[in-house]
Structure 1
Amino acid sequence: MKHIKVKLVSILKGTLPGWKETMEKYHQEALEVTKAVSRLIALALDLDVDFFDRPEFLGKPIATLRLLHYEGKLSDPSNGIFGAGAHSDYGLITLLATDDVSGLQICKDKDAEPQIWEYVPPLRGAFVVNLGDMLERWSNGIFRSTLHRVLGNGQERFSIAYFVEPSHDCLVECLPTCQSKVNPLRYPPIKCETYLLQRYKDTHADRNSYK
């Protein structure tokens, strides 16, 4: 089979005029929202409000914008059929914009047995904020990452996910206000890049089975 490489941007430029500019503008504005959320997190952890604005943190972040489309199929959790299986995001914060179709579920206590899932009602003009595994590690478990999944209800569903991570050179170590006698150190320091590469490697450990 011959593979032909094409640039998606060049294809969409003629099909969807203004698409590139719209996505770039969305990316810029979403980053500002993320920084505003990070300031609230800093205050909640008794840190300086601009703690995460430092260049090594969110001053030069790694951010990924992903457009998601779920087919209009019904999920069947009892048989392991999902729109997206249960997972938490690797990074720091995820902003999720959704349409009017429900489907996103979260589990508030991911350690519970059995796990209890509840729907997040879609709210036009608002973001769902998912906390990532990196923030759980950084805050020494004070903030827990959001375990979530998607169930299809027979309707097409669209969403926009904006994943944010600090600079890859950032050292992720317990924040100064997150360690105490009642909450001892849980995670050793690790470079952001090293952490993410290991997570990707673990996720795709069985990739050879697809060859």
Structure 2
Amino acid sequence: MAETLKLAIIDLSSSDSISTAKSIRQACIECGFFYLVNHGVEEELLLRVFDESQKFFSLPLEEKMKLATKHHRGYTPMYAENLDYSSSSRGDSKESFYIGSLEAGRSYLNRWPSEEILPSWRPTMESYHKKLLLGAKSGFICLDNIVNNVYKVLLLKDGKYGQTQSVGKKLISLIAQALDLDADFFEKVGALDDPMPFLRLLHYPGDLEFCGEETYGASAHSDYGMVTLLATNGVPGLQACLMLTNQDPQL
């Protein structure tokens, strides 16, 4: 049975950026995951995002397929993705919806449900997207070509800290300090000049058995990009394998 994994808790509202950066560094060295609190995303907004997400995934498949993925935006149905073909031939037991950049010049690529069906869906997702990923001049970008580590952050639903920067931009600044770089390093080198932020909604129905073959909500994988901000509705399931061995993953 998988063990319970105790993750570090990072307070994004702390005025001691040096200490916070050190805590982030330690968490990323040890397991690559940590909880983020006082992040400034209101619980009311998070609840609306989950509510609107549930409304979309509850639509008939025919309606959802009208927004099938194009240009990495839109709806992906059950079993269409497989993160690890060696563990399952059927595909991952999940459906998802991708929302890309809201910046001028790219926002037209996004796909949105009809306002007649889901009138509050688009404004809710745009508000959440901006709160997490967009800053005053730039946004949140995948920096895999600069930093080879991938960090995953679990966003807790208790944000009380008001901030003008986005969660992603503030976190990137702290990650720079965790790497013994200047806080604005990624901005100075132009890494945030042309951001590629993605918001991804996921639905795991829990169907893990099919004709005797075990399937997974999301097969074993490493995320691409630099940072994953993950908000959940309290249902457990994320597993982390701390060593590249056959040992049991930790929850």
Q: Which has the higher contact order (CA 8 A, sep 6+)?
A: 2
Bigger fraction of residues in helix: 1
| Alignment TM-score, normalising by the size of structure 2 | 0.40
